[in-house]
Structures are given as C-alpha cells and as structure tokens.
C-alpha cells in the first residue's frame, strides 16, 4: 500500500470503512464472495449485476485497503479482507433476523425468563403475514415430520386448532409426545374434537398435563431443535415461530419445560377427556 493511501486510511475512522461497504449494495457481497474462493472480474460482474467498470473500481478500492489481492486474472480476499467480510456477514445475518423479529419480538419470552435475542442469531424465523397467515404453523408441521420425540409447554388453542391433524398422525405413528397445556386447551379437546384425539390417546405415545399459569408463549423441544411460538394478544393466532439448534436456547427450553412439568400431574384421560 502506498504512503498516500496509508496516510489517508489513518485519518479515517472505522465507521468510514463500514459506511463505504454498505453505501453500495454490491460491495459487502463482493468481499464476502472473495473469501469463499478466487473469482475473476467478469464473474463478480455477473454475480452482482453491476457494471464492469463499477466492479473494476470496487476491486481497486479493496486493493487500496489491502482487503483483496490479485493473482493473474482472479482476485481473492486477504486475511484482512476475510476478517472484515466475516464481521459483515455476521452483521447482515443479525440484521436480517432483527428485521423479521421487529414486529413480533414482544410476543417472545422476555429477559426475565432467561431468554435472550442472542439465542435467535442463527434461528429460522417464520412470521405470519396477510397473504399466508399459516406460515408459522406450516413450519412447525415440517419440524415434527422428522422428530421422534416432542415436548411442548404452552400449547394453546391457536396452535392446536391449526395443526391437530398432523400432530395426531405423528403421535399415532410413534412420536413420543408430552404436552403441557392451559385448561382451555383441554376444554377445547373435550368439546371440539374428542374423536380426533382418541386414537392418539389410545396409542400410549401421548401424555397431557394441565397448568394454570403457563406463559403467553409456547416452547417446543424436538430431537435436534427447539421452537418458540408467539401468539397474538387474544391467543387466537400464531404470529411467529422461531426455531433453532442453538445450545443456549435448548438449555433454556429444557429448563422452562422441566419447571412446568414438575408442577403438573398427568391429566387423567379417562375422566377428563
């Protein structure tokens, strides 16, 4: 790097380089792509959709910062460039997650419960929208298709009403299932769909427990992932499902489920349903 560029960079604050990367949509993706493998200018031009002259200028500016180096007709990220690209990729992922959670995060557990937004950093966030209000429930159904054991605390009518068929079929097929419900869910089963659950109950794979003071969210523990269900304020719609394999999130979910389970006897099926 020439002395002129070194002097110039020494006068700039770190935020200036961040601003440079985000000022044009193609810059961060270009740098990230060059950490995966070397690429030519023409390949980067086609990948980003910007003009060839723009890519040439961007690569020149990356070289000035010592973020990339040229080997023949290809460019690749240096260690410095890879260091910056990794941070940018993490930031982009976090902001993408935050944008999905922005309208619904208050429906999720709060910090007092031990849950943190950090647990959502690598999560799949599925939010209901007017065009597809069943997206969170559909995601939940896809998760239970492959699991052998399901534990769920906070199962509400809003969730049960939308996935009862799929849930019962998986129980009958052998999925070991334990549900901790508020009493209104038992009342729903009793009044609305007793026949639907009879085969699931007879299978011996389903335990139902009642708890009067469950949180306003649901917690599912599956074989490899955990999922958190956020309901609307009236409890009539599933607004969001967050699922993750984050170890911290799983530890929190296990603790939450265990604390509720200790307080709840198995529902006497023969008398209550």
pLDDT tens-place string over residues 18-70: 999 999 999 999 999 999 999 999 999 999 999 999 999 999 999 999 999 99
Stretch 127-144: mean pLDDT, rounded? 92
**Tens digits of per-residue pLDDT, 183-212?**
888 777 777 777 777 888 888 898 888 887
Contact 273, 201 (CB under 8 A): yes
* Burial class of 31 by CB neighbour count within 10 A (0 to 12, 13 to 18, 19+): buried
Distances (CA, A) of 223 to 129, 244, 271: 28, 11, 31
Q: What is the mean pLDDT of the chain?
A: 87
Q: Residue 100: what pLDDT?
A: 84
Tell me what the mean pLDDT of segment 174-188 comes to. 86
Instruction: For residue 147, give the DSSP letter.
Output: -
| Selected residue with higher pLDDT from 196 and 164 | 164
Give the C-alpha separation, 43 to 59, whole Å: 13
pTM: 0.76
Average pLDDT over residues 130-137: 91
Q: Which of 8-12, 62-66, 120-124 is the least confident region?
A: 8-12
Determine the pLDDT at residue 270.
46
CA within 13 Å, CB half, 260: 27
Q: Which domains does the chain have, with CATH numbers?
A: 3-93 (1.10.10.10), 103-272 (3.30.870.10)
**In the Cβ-directed half-sphere of 97, how many Cα atoms lie within 13 Å?**
19
């Amino acid at each position: 790097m020439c002395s002129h560029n070194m002097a110039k960079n020494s006068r700039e604050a770190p935020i200036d380089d961040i601003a440079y990367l985000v000022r044009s949509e193609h810059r961060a993706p270009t740098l990230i792509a060059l950490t995966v493998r070397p690429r030519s200018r023409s390949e980067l031009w086609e990948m980003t959709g910007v003009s060839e002259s723009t890519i040439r200028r961007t690569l020149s500016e990356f070289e000035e910062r010592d973020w990339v180096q040229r080997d023949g007709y290809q460019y690749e990220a240096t260690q410095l460039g890879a260091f910056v690209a990794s941070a940018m990729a993490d930031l982009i992922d976090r902001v993408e997650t935050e944008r999905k959670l922005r309208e619904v995060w208050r429906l999720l557990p709060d910090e007092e419960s031990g849950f943190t937004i950090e647990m959502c950093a690598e999560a799949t966030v599925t939010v209901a929208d007017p065009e597809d209000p069943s997206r969170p429930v559909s995601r939940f159904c896809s998760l239970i298709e492959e699991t052998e054991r399901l534990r769920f605390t906070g199962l509400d009518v809003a969730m049960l009403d939308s996935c009862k068929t799929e849930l019962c079929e998986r129980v009958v097929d052998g999925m070991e299932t334990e549900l901790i419900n508020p009493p209104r869910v038992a009342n729903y089963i009793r009044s609305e769909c007793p026949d639907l659950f009879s085969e699931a109950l007879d299978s011996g794979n389903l335990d139902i427990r009642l708890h009067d003071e469950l949180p306003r969210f649901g917690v599912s523990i599956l074989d490899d992932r955990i999922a958190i269900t956020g309901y609307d304020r009236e409890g009539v719609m599933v607004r969001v499902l967050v699922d993750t394999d984050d170890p911290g999130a799983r530890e929190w979910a296990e603790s939450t489920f265990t604390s509720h389970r200790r307080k709840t006897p198995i529902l006497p099926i023969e008398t209550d349903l």
